[in-house]
Amino acid sequence: MNQGRKTRWESSAEPLSGGNCDTLTEVSLGSVSAELAREMLEWAPLACFLCDPDTHVVQANQAAETLTGWSRDRLLGLSLAEIFPAPLADCSSVTRGKLQIVPDGRQVWVDVEYHELPDGRRAVFMHDRTRLRETETSLFNSRRKYRELFERTGDAILIIENGQFRDCNEATVRLLRYGGKAELLNTHPSQLSPPHQPDGRASYEKAEEMMRIAMERGSHRFEWEHKRADGEVFPVEVLLTAVSVEEDRQILHTVWRDITDRKLAEEKLLQAQKLDSIGLLAGGVAHDFNNMLSGIMGHASLLLDMEQDPDRSSSLSEILRAAEHSADLTRKLLAFGRRGKYLVAAVGLNLIVDEVTELLAHSFDKKIEFAFRLDPGLHNVDADPGQMHQVVMNLCVNACQAMPRGGTLTVTSTNLKIPAEGDPAWPELRLGNFVELTVRDDGVGMTEDVRLRAFEPFFSTREDGDVKGTGLGLSTVYGIVQNHGGGVHISSQPNAGTTVTVRLPRGSREAAPVPERHRPAQQGSEFILVVDDEEIVRRMAERMLVKLGHTVIVAKDGREAVAIFRERNREISGILLDLKMPHMDGRETLAKLQEIDPDVRALLSTGYGLNEESQVVLDEGARGLIAKPYRLEDLSEAVRSMLT
């Protein structure tokens, strides 16, 4: 030991002549350190080149072999310029990220450090960063692709951290109508929602719950009402996804999708389903009313035909007028229920507008002005002329009544084409050519609640003195238009007027037939079988036919009618056949009768009028149809047509 230093002694002995001698050599730890340094340099991950002052390699480690692809023996003695074709920078500098072409032809990214040693030699260290560079490039490209997707997607995307917006895409800025991304990101999330959601809950409280659920489950999808920068509230579908970016740090990836069009379509679908249900009920009620009215009108017309006393004749005429008014109401109910009369012809809506408005101009206050923007090239529609007249009349009357202090009623017509992708505002209509009719007033308008109920039968807000609306005007329009394959929409604001738009498919027919005039009742002498499950209708029809000179036999249902016809088919000239009956309806009954006599003559009688069901029976051999309720003259004409 020398002053506390640890030493290692190495001894060697060699015989000497004439005596013995011992030699002691002290090996310092400096030798060990040098050896350790050489070992560390040899196995270092950096490529190490020890060069002479002229940059010729005098020593290289294994990493240098790996980097260059050459053996150490081959490297020794070569200059760096001979090893690396690309010229190296000044040896006094440090170069990072320099692309080098190594001897075996590969391109690698290296960090290069040069150190000049005291003895003039140079130490060159090269760190192969190729894999790191590839990883960085891949990460950069990945981030760029994500950013491109982030910015170019049509949905609004936001990043929320600790209750604050951290990032958003341009779609979010457009959706919320902000001036720019910075303005939006500086807005607190609570400012983007109305105070309460549709379920009545406070937006702030519910938002906290939605985010908590997303954090617990990983993601959460729900519907929400947001508020744009201009204050407009609109519905969105929200998808919250919790993302862990660090061990103790989470963000919420938020996707908003504007579902205004979807909610509008759902609302229209629900309203249509509701109206369909009401229509079924209304159609059934109207059918039963028509059966009762058949008895009233039939018997009243018979009595009127026989009555000689003027006073009693006047009373009977009043009964008939009241019954006809009731029958008109049931026809409106049937039209709403889409079961009403449907005689298809080519109809020009411009002509109907001219006729209706000319009539109304003399019926309403002179303070109401009429304005027309009618397309002279408007296509025809395939429709029932009477029902189209009713549609235009109802719309114009409603518009006039909405302007008690006067105003302007504007009627517009045009041709349009719905594209293949459809019209989001009219989801019930498909691709094709349509005719559009718009009736606008600048009257009292409607609240949203009233607008949503406007097509419901018997719903009315009009009370003019002693006159109250029937509530069947717009419901009738709705039923007729739907029955013709079209659609009808209402837009309105209180004190800002109302616009009703009707769209009907373009027609293919050339001209509408001229309706026939009723002829006086004609006498006959044929044997007629009356089939109806309603006794009041059977008795009324029997008395009417007897009055006309016919012999009559009655049956209460289809089974009895078939049994009678089987026995007396040679006597029976024609059959008045109810369409709707229990056990065996009119269609089944006609089929059984045709098995007995293929040439049987049957006249359908129905409270639903002409519809798809009755048209099928007509196509299968019925000779005609008469709608309940009917007068003596109507029955006479229909029976005569059946028998001839």
Beta-carbon contacts of 44 under 8 Å, excluding residues fewer than 6 positions away, are 61, 63
Q: What SS3 state is found at 185?
A: helix
What pTM did the predictor assign?
0.42
Q: Distance between CA atoms of 621 and 588, rounded to whole angstroms? A: 12
Bridge pairing between strands 574-578 and 602-606: parallel
Please name the residues in contact with 551: beta carbons below 8 A apart, sequence gap of 6 or more: 525, 526, 527, 528
Could you give the C-alpha distances from 99 to 113, 115, 117, 128, 608, in angstroms and in order? 14, 20, 26, 10, 89
Strands 122-128 and 107-116: antiparallel
CA distance 379 to 435: 7
pLDDT in tens, 474-507: 888 888 888 888 999 999 999 899 999 999 999 8
d(CA 436, CA 504): 7
Tens-place pLDDT, residues 192-226:
999 999 888 999 999 999 999 998 999 999 999 99
Rounded to 5 degrees, what are φ and ψ at 584? -145, 110
CA-based end-to-end distance of the chain: 147
Q: What are phi and psi of 11, to 5 degrees?
A: -115, 150
pLDDT at position 436: 96
Compute the distance between CA of residue 603 and CA of residue 644 in angstroms, rounded to an integer.
Answer: 12
Long-range CB pairs of 253-259 (<8 Å, 24+ gap) are: 253/157, 253/159, 254/157, 254/158, 254/159, 254/160, 255/155, 255/156, 255/157, 256/155, 256/156, 256/157, 256/158, 256/172, 256/175, 256/226, 257/155, 257/156, 258/156, 258/175, 258/234, 259/223, 259/235
Q: From 234, 241, 239, 240, select the one nearest 258 (Cα to Cα).
A: 234
pLDDT at residue number 67: 84
Q: Alpha helix locations (H) across 337-401?
A: 349-361, 385-401
**Dist CA 162 CA 520 (whole Å):** 87
Averaged pLDDT in 10-residue chunks for the chain of 644 residues: 44 42 42 66 85 89 88 88 63 54 72 84 85 81 78 86 88 91 88 90 91 91 92 92 83 90 76 62 69 80 78 81 76 57 78 82 77 92 84 88 89 90 82 93 88 76 50 77 88 92 85 46 85 90 91 95 95 94 92 95 86 87 90 89 90
The residue type at 449: D
User: CA angle at residue 491 from 487 to 493, to 5 degrees?
Assistant: 165
Alpha carbons 89 and 142: distance in angstroms, whole number: 33
**Amino acid occupying residue 280:** L
Q: Which pLDDT score is estimated for 515?
A: 43
**What is the reported pLDDT for 632?**
86
Please name the amino acid found at residue 31: S
pLDDT of res. 341? 47
CA dihedral (230, 235, 237, 241) positive or negative: positive
Whether residue 436 contacts residue 414, with contact meaning beta carbons closer than 8 Å, is answered with yes
What is the pLDDT at residue 381?
A: 93
Query: Any bridge partners for residue 474, and if so which?
Result: none
Backbone angles phi, psi at 165, to 5 degrees: -75, 130
Task: For residues 185 and 207, give the distance between their C-alpha atoms in angstroms, rounded to a whole number.
Answer: 18
* CA dihedral for 134, 135, 140, 144, sign (positive or negative): positive
- Cβ atoms 408, 442 nearer than 8 A: yes
Long-range contact pairs involving 420-426 (C-beta distance under 8 Å, separation at least 24)? 424/261, 424/264, 424/265, 425/261, 425/264, 425/489, 426/487, 426/489, 426/503
Q: Is 621 left (phi over 0), alpha (psi -120 to 50) or beta?
A: left
Non-local CB neighbours of 433 within 8 Å, separated by 6+ positions: 379, 415, 416, 417, 505, 506
